[in-house]
Amino acid sequence: MPESDHVGAELARRANAIVFSVGYRLAVDGVRYPIPIDDVHAVWEWVTARDDLPSRKAIGGASAGAALALASALRSRDETEARKECKARDESKAEDESEARDESKAEDESEAREGSEAREEGGAEEGSGARGGRIPDLILLAYPFAHFPVPTLGLGRHQEEIEDMVRNYVGRISDLPPDALPGAARLDGLPPVHIVLSEHDDLRPSGELLERQLREVGVEVESLLARGSTHGHFNRPLEEPEPVDVSLGFFASALRVPQQAPKWLKKADAEPRIEFGADYNPEQWPREVWAEDVRAMREAGVTVVSLGIFSWVRLEPDEGRYDFGWLDDIIELLHANGILVDLATPTASPPPWLTTKHPEILPVDVDGRTVWPGARQHWRPTSPVFRDHALRLVRKIATRYQGHPAVTAWHVNNELGCHNVHDYSDDAARAFRIWLRKRYRDLDTLNSAWGTAFWSQNYSDWDQLLPPRFANGPVNPTQQLDFQRFSSDALKDYYLAERRILRELTPDVPVTTNFMVAGDINGMNYPDWAAEVDFVANDHYTRPGPQSRDELSFSANLTGNLIAGRPWFLMEHSTSAVNWQPVNIPKLPGELERDSLTHVAHGADGVCFFQWRASKAGAEKYHSAMLPHAGTDSALFRAVTDLGARLRSLSDIAGIARTPAQVAVVIDYESWWAAELDSHPTDRLRYRREALDWYTALLDRGIRADVVPITADLSGYRLVVAPILHVVPVPLQERLRSYVGSGGHLATTYFSGIVDENDHAWLGGYPGALRDLLGIRVEEFTPLLDGVTAPLTNGTSGTLWSERVDVTDPAVKVLATYDHGGPAVTRRAVGEGSASYVSTRLGPAGLAPVLDDLLPAAGVDSELPPELRGRVELAVRGRARFLINRTDQPVDLSSLPGVPDDLLPARGVVVVR
């Protein structure tokens, strides 16, 4: 039957899988439960026992076959659990016995026992089949019939008919064994489950219920509602080709072993170049303008545009009605002109027809207010209804442009989490509970992690758990911290759902999404996301202020280190002013080029802008663009064209990795989240500002530093600065000890080492987990009121924070002292390495003398001649040295050998090979 033959053949072809079809005995001629399950399970045991097959194995079935597949998976789970229990019992029995026995005899016995267990364990792991099956890696269920009784949709199938089926299979319709229709069984401990639901299917409620049940017990579930399909559609590939195709695609993509995807733009021409372009929104303009756009793009040297980012309503004007004609035309036009298309999945701004029909997709803020449409990103990351509509559109667009030579990459959604990262809706609450179940497994563990003994917050049922919604006082801090973690994960999960479809349909096109590594944006844990994009893309906008330029460098630097060694893509920045700050000032002459090249210096191989042509209408009409309102005859367009030419002259740098520095400034999102929670010693603390101060202080001394995530390999750095490293779980404590123990130099600051991963204070005095390493002890924090300073005897002075630091290890040297007495900055030598502590906020100038002590001790010196230190930032990509003017004055470069132009213009960049 096609349900077996066609499905098997297609999955083999699409997923490159080996498929076994099981001809289990059917419930006829007296064959009854559990014989069909026994048959399926026997085959599963046989398959998992073979050692000539790929290790990743899935089990699946359709309709009643889905119930059998699930029942077999449950058996495997039970058998695995029983094996574990048995082993644990043996071990404790052996322990008791060994006490009573003569020592040497006991040793012999336990060795023999360990040997046989190891064989047994190994056998089970490799699937020897001796004692039952191995839990599958994946379960695929098509329109499962997994419950009885099950409410039907009333489409024709009668309750009596279903009863007859159950009676035929089990022999009765009451007192059913839980695995006969396994929705009644215990469902936890299963691998990810993918469920295909048929739309017009009386039994659909069973699949839907199963999905909810699995989610509730923490099993990962993905489902696909096959539009227009009926129950058993896999058996009708000729009659229902579309849903069969979509459903097969869904299973095949789950089954496919993740491939090494391309890591950079897909293009015919492999010549290295720095890509140049913008978001392009042709739907805002009449067609006559398009030709003029493309002509001007060519003039400016544009090589790539991001297309269709906010086009949902233009592509799907009404539910299920699509209009791709205009997008086809513009893609053709761009292609004909040699411009690559970074095609967006247009899911960032759901159209009015959708929000009107389904207001339940709208996010809810912390105060319980609905986030209404009118702007964009008004969707809940966890809404199943939103997902259903958005993913359907993603599938449509990916199918339509599959194989199109112009499509160079996928731009998923837009700035995921911009405006909707923290959603407090009921959907979010449900998803948060599932996330918590996965993290903690049982409520006792959660209660202890959340410290719920405090304020009578003990939870006795998962349903009692909520996002940290508006309350009349500070909400449980661990609940808040977990909600930050969850919110980042929920968005990532949504991204992965889109990616899955794109990878399935266009495996050769790389997938990315534009991050927002910039300023105070910290909702998304990008170091955790980075592995999921084929190449990192970032959006960056500057804000006025004394460290504005350094902040850009800092952000570009961190972006480049999210996946160290790989080039990344600057998806958006601005040619001049933005429109969303209180006062929006244009860029000064030179700034456009300097900003762009600073990103390139830190590894960007693409320089793009928001947007190509300045809008005539809408909220962003005063935002600068590559082509301003003034048109091509403008200073800005000329600067843009010059930039295009400059980037072309740097083509040889494309693909070359940044050269690592000797100093690292560490960023830890967990510490960032936790250190800025409420009810702290001060609410003035800003995590990233402290990190940026160190970076500026390093640049002021002419020192090149890498900004790296805490997860990076630190062993190659001579000096690691970890400001406000607030969350230090045991493994991190050990990593830092071993870094210092092997000769590394660590510097950290106030409010570091204070809590563990549950935001529980380390006891015994501050800085908690780092106390011994630093050789100091602090009993109380002394934050400073606004305007109050803590002068130091070296002439600098602290703000924000101060401490009375007691030195506990004679190896500690006090590097700076508070005027009122007591150490302010300390350094403890540990073998060849050291651990230093700064107990107050010193700012870039105040950190200068600190670095004057730390840098020579760590053996770090500037790579720039003294005349240039502080005035020029140096960044290195292979043989290319970027000299970036940090000032508004020209800088004389004659102290540097081999520089073609002796003068580095104000805000200019010189690249020396």
Cβ–Cβ under 8 Å, residues 4 and 245 = no
Spell 564-576 as b/e; 16+ CB within 10 A means b: bebbbbbbbbbbb
415 is catalytic: yes
* DSSP string covering 297-357: HHHHT--EEEE-TT-HHHH-SBTTB---HHHHHHHHHHHHTT-EEEEEE--SS--HHHHHH
Among 216, 532, 620, 867, binds ligand GAL (CB under 6 A): 620
C-alpha closest to that of 639 among 583, 584, 542, 574: 574
Nearer to ligand GAL, 623 or 680 (CB): 623
Say which of 240, 275, 504, 572 is annotated catalytic.
Answer: 572
Cβ–Cβ under 8 Å, residues 718 and 860 = yes
Binding-residue pattern over the window 95 to 134 for ligand GAL, x denoting contact by CB under 6 A: ----------------------------------------
The C-alpha torsion from 748 through 842 and 884 to 415, rounded to 10°, is 70
C-alpha closest to that of 509 among 352, 652, 431, 403: 403
Show the tokens assigned to 884: 């970036």
Q: Does 415 bind ligand GAL (CB under 6 A)?
A: yes
Nearer to ligand GAL, 424 or 541 (CB): 541
Under DSSP, is residue 724 helix (H, G, I), strand (E, B) or coil? coil
Among 572, 593, 676, 690, binds ligand GAL (CB under 6 A): 572
Among 69, 252, 578, 860, binds ligand GAL (CB under 6 A): 578
**Beta carbon of residue 393, minimum distance to ligand GAL (angstroms, whole number):** 19
Identify which range of 254-262, 331-339, 413-421, 874-882 contacts ligand GAL by CB under 6 A. Answer: 413-421
**Beta carbon of residue 592, minimum distance to ligand GAL (angstroms, whole number):** 15
**Beta carbon of residue 400, minimum distance to ligand GAL (angstroms, whole number):** 23
**Beta carbon of residue 413, minimum distance to ligand GAL (angstroms, whole number):** 10
Measured distance CA(780)–CA(518) in Å, rounded: 33
Give residue for tokens 């023999």.
112
**Beta carbon of residue 689, minimum distance to ligand GAL (angstroms, whole number):** 21
Nearer to ligand GAL, 94 or 418 (CB): 418
Q: Does 784 bind ligand GAL (CB under 6 A)?
A: no
Measured distance CA(750)–CA(217) in Å, rounded: 41
User: Is 485 buried (19+), middle (13-18) or exposed (0-12) by CB count in 10 A?
Assistant: middle
Nearer to ligand GAL, 535 or 766 (CB): 535
Identify which range of 321-329, 411-419, 423-431, 845-853 contacts ligand GAL by CB under 6 A. Answer: 411-419
**Beta carbon of residue 344, minimum distance to ligand GAL (angstroms, whole number):** 10
Please tell me whether the peptide bond between 890 and the residue prior to it is cis, using omega within 30 degrees of 0.
no
Sheet with 872-877: strands ordered across: 872-877, 880-885, 909-912
Give residue for tokens 């940026």.
692
**Beta carbon of residue 661, minimum distance to ligand GAL (angstroms, whole number):** 29
Nearer to ligand GAL, 611 or 802 (CB): 611
C-alpha closest to that of 619 among 377, 880, 416: 377
| Type and span of the H or E element at 121 | helix 103-126
Residues in 858-877 that interact with ligand GAL by CB under 6 A: none
The C-alpha torsion from 172 through 175 and 178 to 182, rounded to 10°, is 50
Measured distance CA(757)–CA(322) in Å, rounded: 48
Strands 776-783, 801-807: pairing is: antiparallel
Measured distance CA(410)–CA(512) in Å, rounded: 6
Binding-residue pattern over the window 596 to 615 for ligand GAL, x denoting contact by CB under 6 A: --------------x-----
Cβ–Cβ under 8 Å, residues 156 and 204 = no
Show the tokens assigned to 610: 């928001």
**Beta carbon of residue 710, minimum distance to ligand GAL (angstroms, whole number):** 26
Nearer to ligand GAL, 206 or 414 (CB): 414
Measured distance CA(405)–CA(336) in Å, rounded: 11
Nearer to ligand GAL, 524 or 815 (CB): 524
**Beta carbon of residue 870, minimum distance to ligand GAL (angstroms, whole number):** 31
Which segments of 144-269 does DSSP mark as H helices, in order? 159-170, 204-216, 241-255
Identify which range of 410-418, 652-660, 701-709, 866-874 contacts ligand GAL by CB under 6 A. Answer: 410-418
Sign of CA dihedral 236, 237, 238, 241: positive
Nearer to ligand GAL, 165 or 418 (CB): 418
Nearer to ligand GAL, 299 or 620 (CB): 620
Binding-residue pattern over the window 259 to 298 for ligand GAL, x denoting contact by CB under 6 A: ----------------------------------------
Strands 790-791, 719-722: pairing is: unpaired
Nearer to ligand GAL, 521 or 829 (CB): 521
**Beta carbon of residue 306, minimum distance to ligand GAL (angstroms, whole number):** 10
Cβ–Cβ under 8 Å, residues 904 and 893 = yes
Q: Does 418 bind ligand GAL (CB under 6 A)?
A: yes
**Beta carbon of residue 376, minimum distance to ligand GAL (angstroms, whole number):** 8
Residues in 491-550 that interact with ligand GAL by CB under 6 A: 539, 541
Nearer to ligand GAL, 65 or 381 (CB): 381
Say which of 415, 504, 593, 803 is annotated catalytic.
Answer: 415
Identify which range of 43-51, 400-408, 412-420, 562-570 contacts ligand GAL by CB under 6 A. Answer: 412-420
Identify which range of 206-214, 414-422, 682-690, 835-843 contacts ligand GAL by CB under 6 A. Answer: 414-422
Show the tokens assigned to 84: 């574990």
Number of residues that bind ligand GAL (CB under 6 A): 10
| Type and span of the H or E element at 195 | strand 193-200
**Beta carbon of residue 346, minimum distance to ligand GAL (angstroms, whole number):** 12
Nearer to ligand GAL, 251 or 515 (CB): 515
Residues in 312-341 that interact with ligand GAL by CB under 6 A: none
Q: Which residue is nearest to ligand GAL (CB)?
A: 610
Helices (H) and strands (E) in the chain, counts: 24, 29
Among 414, 522, 802, 836, binds ligand GAL (CB under 6 A): 414
Neighbours of 121 (CB within 10 A): 13
**Beta carbon of residue 331, minimum distance to ligand GAL (angstroms, whole number):** 20
- Distance between the two ends of the chain, CA-based, in angstroms? 67
Among 499, 500, 623, 726, binds ligand GAL (CB under 6 A): 623
Nearer to ligand GAL, 515 or 818 (CB): 515
Which segments of 472-525 does DSSP mark as H helices, in order? 477-505
Q: Return the amino acid letter for 882.
A: F
Largest CA distance in the chain: 97
Show the tokens assigned to 236: 């009708």
Residues in 539-568 that interact with ligand GAL by CB under 6 A: 539, 541
Show the tokens assigned to 331: 């893609």
Cβ–Cβ under 8 Å, residues 434 and 540 = no
Residues noted as catalytic: 415, 572
- Which residues lie near ligand GAL (CB under 6 A)? 414-415, 418, 539, 541, 572, 578, 610, 620, 623
